Amino acid sequence: MKLRLKPCLLLLCLLLLTAALSGCSGGDKRIIRIGHNQATDHPTNIALLAFEEFIESELGDKYDVEVYPSELLGSQTDMVQLTQTGAIDFCVASNSILETFSRNYTLFNLPYLFVSSEAYHSAMDDPAITEPIFESTKQAGFEAVTWIDAGTRNFYTVSTPIESPADLKGLKIRVQQSPTNVTMMSLLGGSATPMGFGEVYTALQSKVIDGAENNELALTSNGHGDVCKFYSYDMHQMIPDILIGNCGFLDSLSEEERAIFNEGFKIVNTVEREEWGKAVDAAKERAANEQGVTFLYPEVQPFQDICTPMHQELIASNPDLAPIYEGIQSWNAAYAD
Ligand code: GCU
């Protein structure tokens, strides 16, 4: 079993106190705090360390970047709130979590939205698609500065192989805290159990839940494969992670500094994507060979047929999202499987 850190409230209080008192320490340098919920060997952490190195190489006389992994600054929801108020400057949040801060984010949470990873990547790299969504939380005090690949989400369970939606019936499955994920789970027949990422391992181990859904790295990096023995490629979602920044901090940067930060945000995206493919291959191998996880490849269509009505329901209740949804369909057409 992997040792995992719980949110360290004492550290958080100390950080907030320091921030409140000065916003600076280590001489005259402005400390930039970035929080996320992944382990230190995860592609997200590797990418944020590359960002730290880049910013400090360009602007090291003025800024000192500190990256806090493993929910050290709290759960994703906590960290988004800290970023909103400016208690910290950046955090990585799953797009799922952001849905409760701006309805626009619901779009990227739709099951079976993208037909292939090429379509997904191209759509997320297309500013016509991301900008209206990324900027929609400015009034709430934060904005998205780049997206981060988090692969494809699939179901995995302690002991029930999921070969078709019928196998989910009666199972308690952890989902992220987002209304879209709860709806998706109910449509598929399972019982949705929303909870923060850091609580999932214990919930699986104590059998409070029968399974969860996530990319392959959750099996290894988070140890879920120690408990869950069946991972089933139903391919229900490609949900990006989003690096968000406090607007007050971003607006305080000079034009030249902002250009350097923008370069840094691109580095986060590029480095993480380079690391992602390697990390998934390594996770699959370790899960199969060391944790005894069986990978299943069910027919995807029955899962997809149940979920796709969610698309039209979202567009009908949010017509302003229609042009963005159509833009995604163009990428789907260009990169159909
Ligand atoms: C993935 C994703 C995280 C998210 C987690 C979850 O690991 O990268 O941002 O928090 O799933 O299921 O909560």
Is residue 66 within 8 A of residue 145, CB to CB? The reply is: no
Ligand 1 atom nearest the C-alpha of 217 is 7
What is the predicted pLDDT for the residue at 337?
Answer: 74
What is the predicted pLDDT for the residue at 2?
Answer: 38
Domains of the chain: 2-151+239-280 (3.40.190.170), 153-238+286-334 (3.40.190.170)
Q: Is the CB of 150 under 6 A from ligand 1?
A: yes
Token pair 């109910």 is found at: 186
What is the predicted pLDDT for the residue at 27?
Answer: 75
Residues in CB range of 18: below 8 A, 6 or more apart: 25, 31
Tell me whether residue 59 is exposed, middle or buried, using C-beta atoms within 10 angstroms of its C-beta: 0 to 12, 13 to 18, 19 or more. Answer: buried
What is the predicted pLDDT for the residue at 253?
Answer: 98
Q: Is the CB of 37 under 6 A from ligand 1?
A: yes
What is the predicted pLDDT for the residue at 5?
Answer: 41
The torsion angles phi and psi of 136, rounded to 5 degrees, stand at -75, -10
Cα–Cα dist 38/4, whole Å: 10
Q: Is the CB of 214 under 6 A from ligand 1?
A: yes
pLDDT along the chain (337 residues), means of 10: 43 55 65 98 98 98 98 98 98 97 97 98 98 95 98 98 98 98 98 98 98 98 98 98 98 98 98 98 98 98 98 98 98 94
Token pair 């690096």 is found at: 243
Interval between CA 22 and ligand 1 midpoint (Å): 32
| Full-model pTM | 0.94
Q: If we measure between CA atoms, which residue out of 306, 11, 5 comes closest to residue 183?
A: 306
